[in-house]
Amino acid sequence: MSPRNGSYGSISKDEEAVELLPTTTTTPEGEEGAEEAYIGTVDAGGSSRHSSSGSASWCVITRNHRISYALVVAVVCLLSARYWHERAATAAGGGGWYSNNNDDIIDSVADGNEKTAGRLVHDVVPALSTVDPSSLGFRTATRSGLALPSDAWGERYLDGGKGEFTPLPTNEWYLNLLSHRAAKDPSSAGEIAHVYTIPYVLGVSPPRAPMLPHNTKHGSNNSKQEQTTQTQTMAGIDLYVPIMKAGSSNMQMVYDAHNGVSLGAIVNDYGAHLAKNRDADGKTLSAPTSYEVDPDVPLSPLGVSLRWKHVNMKTHVVRGMPYGTVRFGRDATGKDVLPTILAGNRVASILLDSDDAGNNNNMEGKPGKKKMMMCGSMTGEHVDQGADHVAAISKDGKAQTYTVERELILHLDQSDFTWIAFFSRPVRVRCFSDAMPKVSVPGADTEVQFRLDVVEVMTTGEEEEEEELVVRMALLDECTTGRGVIKAHCDNLKKLGYDTVSDKTKKSKEYLKVLREGAMLYPRSPSVGTEFPMEDGGGEEEQRATDVVFDWDAVPVRPEGARVAPREVVASVVAGSLGLRAENGGEDDNDNDDDDAFVMFALPHHLESLSTNAMGSEEAYDDSLCLHTFHGRTCLVRGSAWRMSVSHGAPQSFVADRPPAADAIPSIAEALREDVGFELSPNVLRGAADTYFPAKILAKMGRIIEINEELKSLKNSDGDEDTYDYPDASDGEIEDAVSAAADVALPTDEEVEALLDDLQRAVEIWLIPGGKEEGGAEAEFLYDASWGGFVNCGCKYTFKKGHEDNGSCNNTFPECPALADVNEDFGNGWYNDHHFHYGYHIYAAAIVAKHRPEWGREYYERILLYIRDVANPSAEDTDFPVFRQKDWYLGNSWAAGLMSMELSPHGREQESSSEAIAAWEGIALYGNVMMDVFTEDDEELDSARLVRNVGELLTAMEVSAANRFWHVWGSKNDEEGSTSVTSGNVNNNPHINTYPKKYTKPVVGMMHETMASFQTWFAPEDVVSYGIQLIPFTAVSERRDEPEWSSILYPVYAKSCETANEENDNFCEDNGWSIVQAGLLAETGEINDALEMAAEIPSKVFKSEGGDGNSLSNTLWFIATRKQS
């Protein structure tokens, strides 16, 4: 749920976490009909990626199956390649994004000298719809001020480039880099312009670089003014290594900025570029460090590509990247842009083109000498250093120039971090460092204590004249000596229960080898492929699954795949990484050694899916190279494509896995007879309200109708055929339920139809375009033409005293409070909580369509607007971004929209994991219903099937993410956090614990990208943080809440409810959280006690905000359908 007070930023009510920093500053086989599968790529900006060899998407061979499948798959792929090539070429207008060069692993792409290594290719998932919202009558809004996309999006995206509109992502993990603050001046954006790539926190605000002694030249000639300044402006990226700090109710990834490194270029010296970007008065129109989204690179849900406006420099910010990568081109005069590296620590040592094992090779693999580099002092004079901490400074304090063929390794003093920098071309470098003098001078440390400059990019032939320089930096060791300022962190790494890459005896040298080999390939614009199930049939209903494929778009740093390091594919890394890779299919691909070399970091749930071993076994990880991150054990995986199968689980339903307990059916029937008379308030029937609470009421009404339908079916059952499938019920349990239902009185058909009439009116009022003037909602829905979204105008609600439920909206379009103020309508107009809000609307619409199929046909395109807004699966739908809410790398959704990128240093945020799950459940159920409606219409049937598959996939992934990140239980972790596994849960999936045991709460109330807190936006009571992870009560709850976790949670929930009642005027009961307590008790198996508890809840509570999503009927049904202990 969104903040009501508009407050964002660091949040912690846990005093233990206030002082956080140290005091010293498997691939499917080609079944018949496989071509019917939907195979597609997720592209955040709507760019279609057409395949020139779509068969490769299911012709991937895992290493473990290579021998047994190779011949079969090769034949199948050859036979199908021509068909797929022609199909993709047609879709792409005869070309296609990918070339089909199977003679070499390095395939060309249409971007100058850039090449991509064996990309896994995909056909495009068809659009759910391509109907323009305006053609349905919905009015269009354009945004202004902070609600507009920032200038960082660049002309292509802001103006459409060639006149084509591009829907933009609003909830992606990297959007802090594209905030208005970052776009205006990255150098002053501070920690807001940071993102968590995992394992690094990456920023775009390098500190000002200290001027070199004696005005050492750097790039173009300096002006007189620049020669007299103390520092220079640098554009580029910052890399920080965050560490976990935790208290009892808060966990954060924190870092000391002084311990980071910056990679970029000095921009003061590029006056020619600046001059081109000044107005008539000479005023700079954009900051010298400003950048924009690279228009030559497709948008990606796994990363964003940036290019700087005033210096020819590019970077690709990608989730799971082991290296920070910056590409340096040439300036307008043809001179090389020269890299600079800064650090806030002194340098202890610099090693050039060598390793620490004495196996020293240059680029040609010839023996070489181990070479140390010495820096000049920051003053250019001799420094008499202390004996304890000696910087790598020459005796006379003067800087010398060194040649670097391939790499340099930096050990920084205070942090004890060791970094490695790779250069794609030979360079000449020199460096300067602060020292620790024998006599300390009082005063604060300077922001920059080390500077290294490339002073020349060397060439070896004419073929390199147009070649760029690619510099890649990676953390090599976070505890080099164990004597740094974060020694406690290093000590805790030894207690994790597994070795990290900093382990000197087992991992560090191997990690260095892998980084060297992988430095030749960088991820550019990764795609996410979704291979949905084929047509239903053949008894496969229980086996639906979607393959999710990460294609990392691996690009070599040199033309024609020239290597930057000797080939050293390390066998143990390949075996331990547990990864998959795409096969090119050619006869001679050198065993895809290049692809083996490409590495990315994977989280525990990726490894679980990629591994052929049992996740529950620690041996599965023994050979892997891992770091510890916020999300647990994070390990390198080889290969430029990952294929991860996501089981949809059993088909979703409006009913539970078992019928209501027979002895509870009379109570449910009695509640139904009361609840069927529920009357909607007049303002809700007129759409004069926000889009959240009324939607919960609509879903509540739908549940009443469905529960009545279930009992009616049981009542009328003749015993020969079950209307409902109860997969976890014995014949005896079903017979008892049928017998009990036969004796109860249910609401009359007329009463149910009247309730259904009201529900239909309340659902469709929001979908009648034009506002109240056209008979639609007073708070009308609009199409946002600036971002590409379905947003609500908002309501200035006015009412007469005593008639609060019969007020009206005192505004009409274009006066839209929800578009002007992020605090209106929970931030709906700013893309907060869309899936929460729309999920309830979709769920209710599914029930109306189920009972009134003709209405379902009539309103199908309009209901799809909700779905397309939050879960559009196709780049062919050019009105909405693809999968707006989804974080494919983590697996969960993000609720926070536009303002979080402007104000939150912790990035995206989501509060209620359970409402996210319910949203995707609603989409799956709506797709199921519409499949029945469209039985005779093949085209619409395919669309509805895709809706169902999308809903099921997102439900499964969100349930898994909630179990990992929001539900905290069974942890065996130590002080700093580990990754332990417990098994035997109801879904037969291992539970992965990633949090340190210092965090004592069984839930996370608010999850950010770099912080997890036990709290909510809207109330301070503990019970709310628990309860917000448990609503609403629907059939999917059984998949969501593991019995073991529920049993751990219940005692603390009950205590928190009691405390809230005692300390805050009966808060828990009056606000409906006591309803949730009864449901939670039932999840522990105590059905009878839960039924008694529910019966004691006053009827008024079901009308409270907390109870709006629940009726007494639904509460009793939920309790009575849980599994008895």
Our CA dihedral for 772, 775, 781, 785, rounded to 10 degrees, sits at -90
Least confident of 44-48, 318-322, 862-866: 44-48
The predicted pLDDT at position 1063 comes to 95
Q: Both tokens of residue 355?
A: 């390793």
**pLDDT tens-digit series, residues 115-142:** 444 444 446 789 999 999 999 999 999 9
Q: What are phi and psi of 271, to 5 degrees?
A: -60, -30
Residue type, 807: G
Chain position carrying tokens 């393959």: 547
Does residue 62 or residue 352 have the better pLDDT? 352
Rg (alpha carbons) of the chain, rounded to whole number: 30
- Judged by phi (left if over 0) then psi (alpha if -120 to 50, else beta), residue 870 lies in alpha
Residue of 1090, 1086, 1056 whose CA lies nearest to 1075: 1090
Tens digit of pLDDT for each residue in 791-822? Answer: 999 999 999 998 989 999 999 999 999 999 99
pLDDT tens, residue by residue, 585-638:
333 333 455 677 899 999 999 988 887 433 334 444 556 899 999 998 999 999
pLDDT (tens digit per residue) in 8-34: 223 333 333 333 223 333 333 333 333
CA distance 887 to 171: 9
pLDDT (average), residues 1039-1057: 96
pLDDT at 421 over 60: yes
* Residue of 290, 288, 44 lying closest to 150 (CA atoms): 290
pLDDT at 480 over 60: yes
Give me 68's structure tokens.
Answer: 């047994």
* Cα–Cα dist 574/597, whole Å: 9
Highest-confidence segment of 100-109, 360-369, 713-722: 713-722
Q: Tell me the C-alpha to C-alpha distance, in Å, between residue 634 and each of 513, 605, 996.
A: 18, 10, 15
Q: Over 50: is that where the pLDDT of 509 sits?
A: yes
**DSSP 8-class letter at 23:** S
> What is the model's pLDDT at position 157?
79
Alpha-helical (H) ranges within 268-361 are 271-275
**Tens of pLDDT along 704-738?**
999 999 999 999 987 555 567 899 999 999 999 99
Sign for the pseudo-dihedral over CA of 808, 811, 813, 819: negative
Q: What is the mean pLDDT of residues 1060-1079?
A: 95
Is residue 505 predicted with pLDDT exceeding 90? no
| Selection from 144-158, 204-218, 397-411 with the highest mean pLDDT | 397-411
Q: Which residue, 874, 849, 848, 870, is CA-closest to 930? A: 849
- CB-based burial label for 166 (10 Å; 0-12, 13-18, 19+): buried
Whole-prediction pTM: 0.86
In this predicted model, what pLDDT tens digit does every residue of 205-226 receive, in sequence order?
999 999 887 644 444 444 434 4
Question: Which pLDDT value is given to residue 991?
Answer: 63
Residue 317 CA to residue 905 CA, distance in Å, equals 17
Closest-CA residue to 459 (of 488, 483, 428, 431): 428
Which residues touch 515 (CB under 8 Å, ≥6 apart)? 322, 323, 420, 422, 474, 476, 599
**Backbone phi and psi for residue 1008, each to the nearest 5 degrees, phi listed first:** -110, 180
What single-letter amino acid sits at 941? L
Distance CA(917)–CA(986), nearest Å, equals 17
Position 464 scores a pLDDT of 55
Supply the mean pLDDT for the chain: 81
Please state whether the peptide bond connecting residue 199 to the residue before it is cis, i.e. omega within 30 degrees of 0.
Answer: yes
Segment 455-472 shows an average pLDDT of 81
pLDDT tens-place string over residues 334-349: 999 999 999 999 999 9
Question: How much of the chain, in percent, has pLDDT values that exceed 70?
Answer: 75
In the predicted model, is pLDDT for residue 70 greater than 70?
Answer: no
Strands (E), 142-247: 194-196, 201-203, 209-210, 231-232, 234-240, 243-246
pLDDT score, position 570: 35
Tokens of 519: 């430095």
Reference 677, options 148, 156, 1122, 1113; nearest CA is 1113
What is the rounded distance in angstroms from the CA atom of residue 520 to the CA atom of residue 753?
A: 67
By mean pLDDT, which of 540-544, 825-829, 912-916 is the weakest?
540-544
Type and span of the H or E element at 844 = helix 834-851
In 219-365, alpha helices (H) = 224-228, 271-275
Which one has a higher pLDDT value, 238 or 221?
238
Q: Coil, strand, or helix at residue 546?
A: strand
Q: Could you give the CA distance from residue 166 to residue 717 in angstroms, rounded to a whole number?
A: 53
pLDDT interval class at 386 (50, 70, 90): confident
Provide the sign of the torsion angle of the four alpha carbons 465, 467, 468, 469, taken in this order.
negative
pLDDT for res 360: 37
Task: Find the mean pLDDT for residues 1022-1048.
Answer: 96
pLDDT higher than 70, residue 688: yes
528 Cα distance to chain centroid:
12
Residues 716, 719, 724: CA angle, nearest 5 degrees: 70
pLDDT at 116 (0 to 100): 43
pLDDT given for residue 75 in this prediction: 34
User: Average pLDDT of 971-979?
Assistant: 44
Overall average pLDDT of the 371-389 stretch: 86
Query: What does the pLDDT read at residue 437?
Result: 66
Report the C-alpha dihedral over residues 84, 85, 91, 93, rounded to 10 degrees: -170
